[in-house]
C-alpha cells in the first residue's frame, strides 16, 4: 500500500488520456483504442496464416499424402498416394504394388526394369502414347497384373513408330489388351516379344499393326482372346511358342511361322491371301478350321518346297490323333475342322461295274476319329442292303478284292478307314463283297428193314398165341355140340 501511495504521489502531470510517471508518458487505453487494436491485429494475422497455408501446400518437403488433392494411385506398401502415375513409377521399389484409385490415361512411355505389380482395383490403366513403345519390359523387368475388384484393365496402345508392348531380354509382362492404332507402319506391332525367357500373357486381345503379334527367338506368348491385324502374327525361332485361345485373323496371312516355331490356335485361322504360311520346320496346330477368303487364296503355303496345298490335300494317315494333317516333309500343319465342309462323292458298286444307289444325300468330310484314321460324316449306310441269289452279303469294301472293310458307326453317322479316300477328288468307291451261301442238299436214302434171326417169342407174341388157342377151343366146342345134335336126330 505504501508503494502504491508513493507511486500515486509521483504523478507529476495529467493531460487528457496521458499520464506521466517519473517523466515517462503513459497513454491511457480506453475501449475504442482496444477495439481498433484488435481489428488491425486480427486482419494482419489472418493474412499471414493464409499466406503460410498456401505456401506450405506447394512445398515439396511436406508428406505427399497431405498435398495430393485428387490421388489416382498409391503404393500399397508405403500407403503414399500420388496424383499421377509417373511420380508413382519413379517412387515404387521392386516387389511393390501400385494400386489404382481412379481411371488413368498415361501418355508417356513406360519402361520397367524391376518387379512391379499393378492392382487395377476395378479401374482402367490406359498407356496410350503417340510414338515409341507404350510399355517396354526388358531384363529384370516383370509386370504383374491383379484386380482386387472386377473389370479392371491394363491396356496399351501406340499410334506411331513403336510397339504397344515390347518384351525382350528375358522380361515378363502381363496385361489386359495390346493395340497398335496404325496398321501401315512396317515392323511395328501391337505386341512384340523376343529372346529366350521373355514371356507375355494377354488376358484379352492383341489387335492392329502391320502384324498384330510377333514372337521370336525362344519367346513364349499366351493370348486368351483373339489376334487380328494386317497380318495376324509372325512367329519364328526354335523354342518359340505361341498359344491363342481365340481366333487368328489377318488381312494377308492368318499365321506365318518359320524356323521350328510352334503355334497353337484353339479357334479358327482366317487369312486374306494365305490361311497358314509355314517354312523351315514350323509346326502349326488349329483346333478350328483354316480359311483364306480373297481371290486366288491359298489354304496352306509350304515355302521350302514352293507347294500350295488346299483343303482336300491332307495326307491319309495323320500323325496327330483327331486332326487332318498337311506337310511337305519339313513343316507340319494339323487342323481339326473344315469350312466349308467338303462334300464327298461316294459310289457303291454292286457287282462288276453295276452301281448301287445310295439314297442318302449328305456325305460330308467333317472330323476325325481315333488312331489317326480319316473320318467322314455320312447320313447313314445305304438304305437297302443289296442281295444276290445264292450269296451272303459281307459288307462294303474299299477294293473289289482285298482292300479294307468300311466300318459304319453304331449311330449311322461316323465311319472310318485309313486309305479309302481319294484326297485329290474327294471321292470314294465302295464295293459289295459276297460269299457263297451254305445250301443243304436233299437226301434220297431208303430205310432198310431190320433183320432178326432170333425165332424166340418177342414181347407181344403171348397175346397172339392166346387168341389162337381161344379160337381153337371154340371150334372144338362147336364141333362137339353139332355132333351131339346129330345123334339125337
Place of cell 486332326: 323
d(CA 335, CA 266): 10
Residues 6+ away with beta carbon under 8 Å from 123 = 100, 101, 102, 103, 104, 152
- CA-nearest of 263, 314, 269, 315 to 288 is 269
pLDDT of residue 59: 46
As given in the structure block, the three cell numbers for residue 290 are 483354316
pLDDT of residue 413: 44
Q: DSSP labels for 39-100? A: HHHHHHHHHHHHHHHHHHHT-TTS-HHHH-SS--EEETTT--EESSHHHHHHHPPTTEEEEE
pLDDT of residue 464: 59
In angstroms, what CA-CA distances link 142 with 108, 163, 168, 224? 19, 17, 11, 19
In angstroms, what CA-CA distances link 52 with 49, 59, 62, 63, 171? 5, 11, 13, 16, 48
Q: What are the beta bridge partners of residue 119? A: 99, 146
Residues 6+ away with beta carbon under 8 Å from 396 = 348, 381, 405, 406, 430, 431, 432, 433
Q: Do 226 and 203 touch, CB atoms closer than 8 A?
A: no
d(CA 337, CA 240): 25
pLDDT of residue 479: 62
Phi, psi of 323 (to 5 degrees): -135, 150
Q: What are the beta bridge partners of residue 191? A: 165, 213
d(CA 385, CA 459): 61
d(CA 126, CA 117): 15
Q: Which helix (H) or strand (E) element contains residue 216?
A: strand 211-216
Q: What is the pLDDT of residues 42-88, one digit of tens each?
A: 656 656 565 655 555 544 444 444 444 699 999 999 999 999 999 99
- The 8-class DSSP code of residue 304 comes to T
Q: Do 230 and 211 touch, CB atoms closer than 8 A?
A: yes
- CA-nearest of 171, 174, 216 to 194 is 216
pLDDT of residue 7: 42
d(CA 373, CA 420): 10
CATH number, domain 342-436, options 3.40.50.720, 3.10.20.30, 3.40.1190.20, 2.60.40.4270: 2.60.40.4270
pLDDT of residue 227: 96
In angstroms, what CA-CA distances link 195 with 162, 199, 218? 18, 9, 6
d(CA 74, CA 91): 10
d(CA 126, CA 134): 10
As given in the structure block, the three cell numbers for residue 399 are 477294293
Q: What is the pTM of this model?
A: 0.67
d(CA 163, CA 188): 5
d(CA 368, CA 318): 9
Residue length of the chain: 489
d(CA 319, CA 326): 10
Reduced to 3 states (helix: H, G, I; strand: E, B; else coil), residue 31 is: helix
As given in the structure block, the three cell numbers for residue 189 are 506391332
Each residue's pLDDT expressed in tens, for the chain with a length of 489 residues:
444 334 444 444 444 455 454 554 545 545 566 566 556 666 566 565 656 555 555 444 444 444 446 999 999 999 999 999 999 999 999 999 999 999 999 999 999 999 999 999 999 999 999 999 999 999 999 999 999 999 999 999 998 889 999 999 999 999 999 999 877 667 789 999 999 999 999 999 999 888 999 999 999 999 999 999 988 999 999 999 999 999 999 988 999 999 999 999 999 999 988 999 999 999 999 999 998 886 567 999 999 999 999 887 888 778 988 888 999 999 999 998 877 666 666 778 887 767 776 544 445 554 443 333 445 555 556 666 788 888 998 888 878 888 877 766 544 444 544 444 444 445 667 888 899 988 666 666 555 555 555 555 554 555 555 666 666 666 665 666 566 555 545
Residue 345: count of CB within 10 angstroms of its CB = 11
Amino acid at each position: 500500500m505504501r508503494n502504491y501511495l508513493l507511486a500515486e504521489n509521483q504523478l507529476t502531470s495529467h493531460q487528457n488520456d496521458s499520464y506521466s510517471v517519473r517523466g515517462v508518458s503513459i497513454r491511457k487505453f480506453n475501449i475504442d483504442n482496444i477495439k481498433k487494436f484488435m481489428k488491425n491485429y486480427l486482419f494482419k494475422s489472418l493474412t499471414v496464416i493464409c499466406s503460410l497455408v498456401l505456401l506450405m501446400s506447394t512445398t515439396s518437403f511436406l508428406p505427399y499424402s497431405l498435398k495430393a488433392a485428387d490421388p489416382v494411385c498409391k503404393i500399397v506398401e508405403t500407403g503414399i498416394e500420388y496424383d499421377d502415375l509417373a511420380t508413382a513409377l519413379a517412387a515404387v521399389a521392386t516387389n511393390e504394388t501400385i494400386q489404382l484409385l481412379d481411371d488413368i490415361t498415361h501418355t508417356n512411355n513406360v519402361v520397367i526394369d524391376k518387379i512391379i505389380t499393378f492392382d487395377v482395383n476395378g479401374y482402367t490403366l490406359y498407356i496410350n502414347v503417340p510414338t515409341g513403345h507404350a510399355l517396354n519390359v526388358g531384363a529384370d523387368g516383370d509386370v504383374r497384373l491383379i484386380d482386387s475388384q472386377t473389370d479392371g484393365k491394363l491396356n496399351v496402345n501406340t499410334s506411331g513408330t513403336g510397339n504397344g508392348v515390347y518384351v525382350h531380354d528375358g522380361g515378363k509382362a502381363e496385361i489386359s489388351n495390346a493395340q497398335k492404332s496404325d496398321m501401315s507402319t512396317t515392323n511395328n506391332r501391337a505386341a512384340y516379344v523376343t529372346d529366350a525367357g521373355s514371356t507375355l500373357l494377354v488376358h484379352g486381345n492383341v489387335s492392329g499393326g502391320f502384324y498384330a503379334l510377333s514372337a521370336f527367338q525362344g519367346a513364349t506368348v499366351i493370348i486368351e482372346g483373339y489376334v487380328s491385324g494386317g497380318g495376324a502374327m509372325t512367329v519364328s525361332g526354335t523354342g518359340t511358342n505361341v498359344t491363342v485361345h481365340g481366333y487368328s485373323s489377318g488381312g494377308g496371312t492368318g499365321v506365318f511361322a518359320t524356323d521350328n516355331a510352334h503355334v497353337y490356335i484353339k479357334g479358327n485361322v482366317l487369312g486374306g491371301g494365305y490361311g497358314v504360311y509355314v517354312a523351315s520346320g514350323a509346326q502349326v496346330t488349329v483346333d478350328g478350321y483354316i480359311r483364306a477368303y480373297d481371290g486366288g487364296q491359298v489354304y496352306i503355303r509350304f515355302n521350302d518346297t514352293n507347294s500350295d496345298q488346299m483343303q482336300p490335300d491332307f495326307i491319309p494317315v495323320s500323325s496327330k490323333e483327331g486332326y487332318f494333317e498337311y506337310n511337305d516333309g519339313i513343316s507340319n500343319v494339323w487342323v481339326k475342322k473344315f469350312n466349308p465342309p467338303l462334300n464327298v462323292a461316294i459310289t457303291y458298286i454292286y457287282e462288276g461295274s453295276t452301281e448301287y444307289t445310295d439314297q442318302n444325300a449328305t456325305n460330308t468330310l467333317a472330323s476325325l476319329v481315333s488312331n489317326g484314321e480319316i473320318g467322314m460324316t455320312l447320313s447313314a449306310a445305304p438304305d437297302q442292303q443289296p442281295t444276290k441269289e445264292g450269296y451272303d452279303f459281307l459288307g462294303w469294301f474299299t477294293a473289289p478284292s482285298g482292300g479294307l472293310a468300311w466300318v459304319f458307326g453304331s449311330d449311322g453317322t461316323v465311319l472310318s478307314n485309313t486309305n479309302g479316300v481319294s484326297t485329290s477328288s474327294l471321292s470314294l468307291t465302295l464295293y459289295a463283297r459276297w460269299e457263297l451261301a451254305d445250301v443243304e442238299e436233299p437226301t434220297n436214302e431208303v430205310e432198310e428193314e431190320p433183320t432178326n434171326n432170333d425165332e424166340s417169342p418177342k414181347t407181344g407174341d403171348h397175346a397172339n398165341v392166346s387168341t389162337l388157342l381161344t379160337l381153337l377151343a371154340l371150334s372144338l366146342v362147336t364141333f362137339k355140340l353139332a355132333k351131339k345134335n346129330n345123334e339125337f336126330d
